[in-house]
Amino acid sequence: MKKILLVLTIISSTVSFSNEDSLFVRKIYDMALEGGHAYENLRSLCKDIGARITGSAEAKIAIDWGKNLMDGYAFDHVYLQEIKVPHWERGNTEAAWIMNESGDVAKLSVLALGGSIGTSGLIEGEVVKVESIQELEALTPEQINGKIIFFNRPFDQKMIQTFKAYGACVDQRWEGTNVASKLNAKAVVIRSMASSTDEHPHTGSMHYDKDVAPVPGAAISTVDADRLVDWLAKGTVTLKMEMDCRFFPDEISYNVIGEMTGNEDDQIITFGGHLDSWDVGEGAHDDGAGVVHSLEALRILKELGYQPNHTLRCVLFMNEENGNFGGKSYAEIAAENKEKHLCALETDRGGFLPMGFDVVGNSAQVDFIRQFATLLKPYDLLKFNPGYGGVDIGPLRSYYPEMLQLGMAVNSQRYFDYHHSAADVFESVNKRELELGAAAMAAMIYLIDQNL
């Protein structure tokens, strides 16, 4: 291949592929699909360890699991990178009920939002439905004080890209409880961030401003959200809820890192997924799939005898879900050590069929990646457009603003059926789609290493 010079984010020249390049990519896919480790590694992570919320015993065991696996693959360097992380626990199982004016009672499927305070026993309040934070802020104090606010904005089903639908309503999860706390509400429940209608509540991060007297925040299933809407249309509804969640002191944890050393220079290509998950389900799609994609990509390149030009660094990030201290610390440490970072790739969209890569960079960098399309088209990798890289690698751009970043794009239509819920288990991942994702990562890492 012809080298492409990267200077001040200006990429010029044209990539020229040889038959050797085509054959090597074919070998990557053959190894992933016929002798791959991704599916068994995911089974082990999900079944032998389980859900891995930051600070939990499972998260600590997962760190050992990741390092032992990397040591077993005999990567050139394997080590732990110390970070400090928050520790929040759900406690006893949450419970919630709604009651209408006729005395009917219905039990809700409910999960505390990550970072919520508990209820300190059973609380109750009249439910007030809103569709947005702006609608809540327009209410009078009398309409809010002592009430339980119900955020009901659903996914826009007309949006083809489900991550855009998620982005259009996730503010009610992240910010809704904080705003309701400032307005003297008693608590908040939200319609789960889900594209389907089912009985699984979906948790996720929320936050409080430092000067806020916090109130509890929870998510209810989309089935229960629809029921609550129906009941509210007929009259007053009271909600009773109990949650036992609590905070503990911050803890020391670790990013898990494995490397293959570059032959030509000390510039680094980082790639990875996040080792932590929420505490429900098994964290299979989010982000066990990304973890095994990344491990498998480096394993395949090593097994094929590939000698990289730049250092290939696989990072299993800790604490993406409720703070991103793994990604933030990784970037800070890189800058402190004056490391040379060339590119970063992330896989955090589930173990679904890969479709290409989103590109974070200037127009020349996007054009550079698009030159790989011809070689990758036989593997149904067709999308190479400007987009989003990932939460974990994002902080690197604060220190390396000119670096290229990529996020693996998948068919996301079913992702939010599982995201942050008890449904996110190993059995929900298709073996072949998972293996294709690992191969796509390995192929893209190879092409970037050859041409940047």
* Domains of the chain and CATH, by start: 6-88+249-451 (3.40.630.10), 91-244 (3.50.30.30)
Q: How far is CA 202 from CA 110, 237, 244, 393, in A?
A: 8, 23, 17, 24
CA angle 78, 295, 416 (to 5 degrees): 135
Task: Name the percent of the chain in helix, strand, coil, to the closest 5.
Answer: 35, 25, 40
Q: Give the integer Cα–Cα distance in Å for 384 and 368.
A: 10
Q: Give the integer Cα–Cα distance in Å for 142 and 108.
A: 26
Q: What is the pLDDT of residue 13?
A: 55
Q: What is the pLDDT of residue 9?
A: 42
Q: Give the integer Cα–Cα distance in Å for 435 and 413.
A: 19
Dig out the tokens for 200 from the structure.
């699984």
Contact 55, 63 (CB under 8 A): no
List of residues 6+ apart from 60 with CB closer than 8 A: 253
Contact 177, 188 (CB under 8 A): yes
Q: What is the pLDDT of residue 273?
A: 98
Query: Which segments of 174-320 are extended strands (E)?
Result: 187-191, 217-220, 237-242, 246-260, 267-274, 311-317
Contact 294, 273 (CB under 8 A): yes
Q: What is the pLDDT of residue 16?
A: 77
Stated as kind and residue range, the H or E segment containing 11 is strand 10-11
Q: Which of 399, 393, 296 is nearest to 338 (CA)?
A: 399
Low-confidence residues of the chain, pLDDT below 70?
1-13
CA angle 306, 310, 312 (to 5 degrees): 70
Q: What is the pLDDT of residue 18?
A: 85
Q: Which of 38, 76, 78, 31 is nearest to 300 (CA)?
A: 31
CA 284 to chain centre: 11
Position of tokens 């067709």? 382
Contact 184, 164 (CB under 8 A): no
Look up the pTM and report it: 0.95
β partners of residue 70 = none
The residue count of the chain comes to 452
Q: What is the pLDDT of residue 217?
A: 98
pLDDT tens for 115-163 read 999 999 999 999 999 999 999 999 999 999 999 999 999 999 999 999 9
Considering only CA atoms, give the Rg of the chain. 23
Dig out the tokens for 46 from the structure.
């999900």
Contact 54, 43 (CB under 8 A): no
